Structure 1
Amino acid sequence: MMKSRLVLATLLLCGTATGALAHSPWSGTMAPVAPTPQNTPLALPRAIPPIPAPTQAAYPGVIRYEVDASDVERKIVRVRQTIPVTAGDLTLLYPKFLPGNHAATGPIQLISGVTVTGAGQRIEWLRDTIDPYAFHVEVPAGVSEIVVEFQWLTQPDNSTWRVVMTPEMLNLQWEKALLYPAGYHSTGITFQPSIKLPTGWNYGVALDTDSFEGGVANFKPVDLYTLIDSPLFGGANFKRVDIDPDGSGVHLNIVGDKPDQINPTPTQIGYYENLITQADRLFGARPYDRYEFLVATTKHLGGIGLEHHRSSENSVPDDFFTNWGKSLGSIGLLPHEYVHTWNGKRQRPADELTANHNIPSQNTLLWVYEGQTEYWGDVLTSRSGLAPVADIITSFAEVAAFYDNQPGREWRPLQDTNNHNLLGYRTSNPYASWMRGTGDYYREALLIWLDADTLIREATNERKSLDDFAKGFFGGDNGSYAPRGYVFDDVVAALNAVHPYDWATFLRTRLDAAGPDAKAPLDGLARSGYRLTYTDTLTEAEKKIQTGWKTDFQYSLGFTLSATNRISGIRWGGLAFEADIGPGWEVIAINDLAANADRLREAVSANKDGSAPIKLLLKRGDAFRTVQFDYAGGLRYPRLERIEGTRDRLTEILSPRRR
């Protein structure tokens, strides 16, 4: 019998429980000794067995898994699982480390009504006291299967967890609504899933459908790994569009708030066909048998962009197709998530290739997983025609300026930001420029990969490029989607295979740099034929990309002004920071006139000769104060300027490949 973690409850009275209390040498009083797991009293009904570690053995039998997602008005997902069992201890796990989250984010707080029955009798479960994602069940003799039922109480708004159900659509992530047996690899547990949808709905998913009748879709059996990696988008307004120029293996599965929001034009479909073609030319092989883009055009479903091996979850504005090109971020979402099928899913950092979804993930190589995906996502956005080259160059200017003005590098290297999700999943703080965070292993790493690309191009007289790394490192095995783990040395070796160089030092210098002399990695811009400059007047095309230009005073006064005139994004060490302005202040007046962003821009511009200092009246709660800035640098918006007489490698990188 396994050793119990249960100890009979005892009353710890001074002098009656051996070792429970000890004399404190510094205070002369009795101080409690920290209990050990062996002497901790637990008021529980029975012993808690250890959680079994995953083994290579396959779980015997198939788990029948029925999801009822038809209650969209009350936003409740109901689950029934029929699990083959044998008598004895069984531990069921709720997935904790979710794909693409890089952190323990499984929302077990939303699981309710957990009930277990076997042979028609109720079986009481016991939650693990150390790991609350584990449920312990004692299966009685003679019971060969148990039925587990519960509800996932999805949320009505996006304040804590994102909205996944609306009256018009559903974003079902299976891992949010299942339990699985501990002690096995996720690839060794077989599920047979089905889902009930509202009447008249259709759906997109990378699973294989056995039947779809009466709103119930039955899918072919799959292992747990594949199930969790295959989310579903369903909706009352649904359209499936083939975008594979070479067959019928890639689709857009579009759901919308309204029927007129799911109709891409032939030109738009052509861009997505180009995306598939350009990705084929970049990577040389497809790591999937088919690929399903799941796209929600919506203002009600929670925002998402999440990669999977044979699909991706993408939410875009409700006018995405009817007001094309309004947001570069939305346009670039699908290319980014598509790149992840090569970088992050098939070719994956070894420390994220865990046995199951309750083994902790490590994130040491997110600057490859996310950073190089950010780079290739932008490159393919341009190469496919989804966005003009000039738009990507403008966005690179924003990235370069942000990191050229980031004080947080003084104490925190880029490598450490890979841990940011583990410290608190994408939490915000009032001084992001000092804290650094999630965006850095995306966007600063993008600059590192541009640096590497241009170095290879220059050193090889344009014969080689980072494209060759992409094909060599991520390509091969066409049609296979078995994950392949890699470590830092593998990245270095693949770069050396393209162009011999001290890549280990190149990367570690940029990843580990911290201190007052640490600089943003902007060498790739110069090698591309550009320099970072600032302008006080943006073109209309630049305003479309730098959407915050009306309220962005980051590189002048050191803050951003919200639509309600609230000061936010205070840059550490900037003018506002040095004027003792902290979070929560609202600008009431500018030079004795009612405040708004237009007036603040005018005031900053008017003081370029130093003759008209900028006076702000601020309010926070019941407190008022007046602050005067003598800043005379004018408005400062980033721009990449061509270096005369140099090769325009950036345009070459962003231009479509012909083969």
Structure 2
Amino acid sequence: MKIRPTTSLALLPVGILMSALVSLSAQNISLTVDATKTRNKILHAHLVMPVKPGPLTVYYPKWIPGEHGPDGPISSLAGLHFEAEGKAVPWQRDLLDVFTFHVVVPEGASKLEANYDYIEPDGGSATDKLLILEWNEVALYPEGTPANKLMYDTKLIMPEGWKFGSSLPVAEQSGNEVSFKPISFELLVDSPVATGQYYRNIDITPAGEPIHHQMDMVADSEDALNMSAKDQKAMTNLVAESGKLFGARHYRDYHFILGLSDHVAHFGLEHHESNDSRLPENVLLGPGSGMALGGLLAHEFAHSWNGKYRRPADLAVPGFEEPMKTDLLWGYEGLTDYVGPLLAARSGLWTPDQYHEYMASIAASLGPGRTGRTWRPLRDTADAEFGMGFGARGWMSWRRGTDYYDEGDLLWLEVATIIHRESHGAKSIDDFCHAFHGGANNGPEVRTYTFDQLVSDLNAIAPFDWATFFHSRLDSTAKESPVGGIENGGWKVTYSGEPSKLEGRRNPGYMYSIGLQVSADGTVGDSVVGGPAFEAGVSSGMKLVGVNGRVFTPDLLGAAIKDAKDDSKPITLLVVVDEFYRTCIVNYHDGPRYPHLVREESKPDYLDELIKARVGQ
């Protein structure tokens, strides 16, 4: 990854070059990570950097690309020691920034060595059988040089018998040690490694595709790696459909890194030439495997174009200590959240019905039950992401969270339908993606954009008052869900007692009836402010232990909601709050409500036209 050639690095705030730092154009930083104690949840790092005598400032990565915030796991750094010429060098942490360390390199020293450990948090990235290594977690770097100018020589020492996969080019491998070719610090952080006792790689390169694509899977058991032939074909289709949608690739080759475990965090993180995705251990063995792969891997794959290659200018900073501005995350994440499911449906990972139910659940989750819409506009969910995004728990219907994802999905679906309408069917969202994300494949690189440039590029495809459109959606505090794209596409959102095919998503049977999100053990994750359960006294963080005089189970609560429709009796809930019992009487009699999409026959079905496969057409 590198800054677009038209961007002058000299104009970027890269900090003051300290006297202790030598030019690194000819001398690389060396980083060795010993992962042989992964089973003990600890990694050891040995780093050597060229220096000159005098004061030196060293950083631990703080602002992590893709995480959009200053959440580098500094608390997991332990055992830090510096030395030069065989003697210890004292260090002091900066009083205003815990990610910054100050040392004074002694006279006569030409290199500074650092030894330290990274403690893998429980539920993080390591188990007894696998490790997914994100280099920012185990690296230090000197002040004063942009990350794309710092060069690193890296080595990984794995437990005996473990195998690995990564987009990093390999220099040499001997036994359980692998050395990678020299690479910029920017690209190193952008290139995770998956290693484990149980490892499998699968070639998913479509026929005739010149660029190699593969899956690198690690799991806690060998059986968990048994991806079906159907899913392999759909993943190959995903690669092919991405080429059709974007019309270009911006990587040397691509690796889908997939960790399968019940003991690591489940999420996805995008990179230029790979993605770090985590799912439950046996997800590939069940009937919902395609839905899970399409819901996560398609999104992270699309980020290679949208977010990594085309990136909001305020998110493209030259180092990991400099703040990012997140105001355009509705473009970075929102457009990706639309494109990912689109590709999942086009590739066959999702069926059309699954796509319909997904869009219905998105629209319903942002409807009147999302009472936070009345005070907090979509724009603010992006602007405040690094302080309020992923950290908040509970009360999400009122406070809102990372809604720039889901509402971005609806926003960009509406953009797609407007392009179709304003061009009288001559243009589509595919034409915009070709123009916006296309260009020559120079490997990983960054082309930044601003709001005005985004509007200009849309106008080049379909002239329209895009600026006013975006401002109206971004600044709206209307309580209604923004379903213009669904309706323009010939569908509408309805509710019925028929369970959704995506019942596990947001617990819709409770959320859209009594206004509760409840886990299997009864913990209330959310209670819609103003909803029937909230008005009865149930709120986020409480625990539901009884329903109509019986011990709580999810099925009993569902039955109580259903039964209350047929008689005039309220629903009696027993909850625990602060070690006290509370009885809450819920007056609700409209029965279960699940969101669905149904056709609006008076309009053409453009929604299904958008999700049709493009390969072969």
Q: TM-score, normalised by structure 2?
A: 0.93
SS in 2 for 1:332: helix
Partner AA of 2:143 in structure 1: A
Q: Paired residues, what number?
A: 598
Aligned ranges for residues 48-197 of structure 1 at < 5 Å? Answer: 52=16, 59-60=24-25, 61-155=27-121, 157-158=122-123, 162=124, 164-197=125-158
Aligned ranges for residues 206-355 of structure 1 at < 5 Å? Answer: 206-245=167-206, 246-247=209-210, 249-326=212-289, 328-355=291-318
The aligned counterpart of 2:519 is: 562
The aligned counterpart of 1:478 is: 441
The aligned counterpart of 2:373 is: 409
1:510-543 C-alpha deviation (Å, 9 max, x unpaired): 00112xx4532111111111111100122xxx33
Q: Is the 8 A contact 2:545 2:574 kept in 1?
A: yes
SS in 2 for 1:380: helix
Partner AA of 1:233 in structure 2: A
Ranges in structure 2 where 5+ consecutive residues have no aligned partner: 1-13
TM-superposed deviation, 1:326: 4.7
SS in 2 for 1:278: helix
Are 1:422 and 2:386 an aligned pair? yes
Correspondent of 1:519 among 461, 466, 480: 480
* 1:480 to 1:638, Cα distance in 2 relative to 1, 3 A: same
SS in 2 for 1:404: coil
The aligned counterpart of 1:34 is: none
1:269-299 C-alpha deviation (Å, 9 max, x unpaired): 1111111110000000101111111111222
* 1:151 to 1:595, Cα distance in 2 relative to 1, 3 A: closer
* 1:304 to 1:605, Cα distance in 2 relative to 1, 3 A: closer
Partner AA of 1:232 in structure 2: V
TM-superposed deviation, 1:310: 0.6
* Percent identity of equivalent pairs: 34
The aligned counterpart of 2:11 is: none
TM-superposed deviation, 1:552: 3.6
Q: Is the 8 A contact 2:55 2:104 kept in 1?
A: yes
Ranges in structure 1 where 5+ consecutive residues have no aligned partner: 1-49
SS in 1 for 2:40: coil
TM-superposed deviation, 1:565: 2.8
The aligned counterpart of 2:406 is: 443
RMSD: 2.1
CA distance in 2, matches of 1:549, 1:183: 46
1:574-605 C-alpha deviation (Å, 9 max, x unpaired): 11222232334444443334433323222222
Q: Is the 8 A contact 2:211 2:252 kept in 1?
A: no
* 1:621 to 1:455, Cα distance in 2 relative to 1, 3 A: same
Q: Is the 8 A contact 2:561 2:571 kept in 1?
A: yes
1:371-417 C-alpha deviation (Å, 9 max, x unpaired): 00010000000000111011011010000011112111111110010
SS in 2 for 1:187: coil
After alignment, is 585-594 or 340-349 more displaced? 585-594
Are 1:205 and 2:170 an aligned pair? no
Partner AA of 1:93 in structure 2: Y
TM-superposed deviation, 1:53: 6.0
Partner AA of 1:302 in structure 2: A
Partner AA of 1:210 in structure 2: A
TM-superposed deviation, 1:329: 4.0
SS in 1 for 2:376: coil
Correspondent of 2:334 among 360, 371, 382: 371
1:341-385 C-alpha deviation (Å, 9 max, x unpaired): 000001111011101011111101100100000100000000001
1:485-527 C-alpha deviation (Å, 9 max, x unpaired): 110011101110110000000011000112xx45321111111
CA distance in 2, matches of 1:247, 1:261: 30
CA distance in 1, matches of 2:145, 2:18: 4
Q: Is the 8 A contact 2:522 2:552 kept in 1?
A: yes
CA distance in 2, matches of 1:179, 1:652: 49
Aligned ranges for residues 485-564 of structure 1 at < 5 Å? Answer: 485-514=448-477, 517=478, 519-538=480-499, 542-543=500-501, 545-547=502-504, 552-564=509-521
SS in 2 for 1:66: strand
1:3-26 C-alpha deviation (Å, 9 max, x unpaired): xxxxxxxxxxxxxxxxxxxxxxxx
TM-superposed deviation, 1:426: 0.8
TM-superposed deviation, 1:656: 0.6
Q: Is the 8 A contact 1:420 1:437 kept in 2?
A: no
The aligned counterpart of 2:430 is: 467
Q: Is the 8 A contact 1:105 1:425 kept in 2?
A: no
Partner AA of 2:461 in structure 1: V
Q: Is the 8 A contact 1:92 1:136 kept in 2?
A: yes
Q: TM-score, normalised by structure 1?
A: 0.87
Q: Is the 8 A contact 1:54 1:355 kept in 2?
A: no
Partner AA of 2:129 in structure 1: E
CA distance in 2, matches of 1:290, 1:133: 33
Are 1:625 and 2:582 an aligned pair? yes
TM-superposed deviation, 1:550: 6.9
Q: Is the 8 A contact 2:271 2:304 kept in 1?
A: yes
CA distance in 2, matches of 1:352, 1:621: 42
The aligned counterpart of 2:9 is: none
Q: Is the 8 A contact 1:254 1:297 kept in 2?
A: yes
The aligned counterpart of 2:352 is: 389
The aligned counterpart of 1:614 is: 571
Q: Is the 8 A contact 2:411 2:485 kept in 1?
A: yes
1:5-50 C-alpha deviation (Å, 9 max, x unpaired): xxxxxxxxxxxxxxxxxxxxxxxxxxxxxxxxxxxxxxxxxxxxx9
Correspondent of 1:640 among 570, 578, 597: 597
1:191-219 C-alpha deviation (Å, 9 max, x unpaired): 10011001111111111101110211011
CA distance in 1, matches of 2:515, 2:542: 14
Q: Which has the higher contact order (CA 8 A, sep 6+)?
A: 2
SS in 2 for 1:572: coil
* 1:636 to 1:486, Cα distance in 2 relative to 1, 3 A: same
Q: Is the 8 A contact 1:549 1:637 kept in 2?
A: no
CA distance in 1, matches of 2:213, 2:264: 24
Q: Is the 8 A contact 1:382 1:389 kept in 2?
A: yes
TM-superposed deviation, 1:337: 0.5
TM-superposed deviation, 1:483: 0.6
The aligned counterpart of 2:3 is: none
SS in 2 for 1:471: helix
SS in 2 for 1:416: helix
CA distance in 2, matches of 1:397, 1:167: 40
* 1:242 to 1:630, Cα distance in 2 relative to 1, 3 A: same
CA distance in 2, matches of 1:567, 1:123: 51
Q: Is the 8 A contact 2:18 2:57 kept in 1?
A: no
TM-superposed deviation, 1:621: 4.8
TM-superposed deviation, 1:51: 6.8
CA distance in 2, matches of 1:272, 1:588: 43
Partner AA of 2:97 in structure 1: D
CA distance in 2, matches of 1:357, 1:303: 24
CA distance in 1, matches of 2:457, 2:426: 17
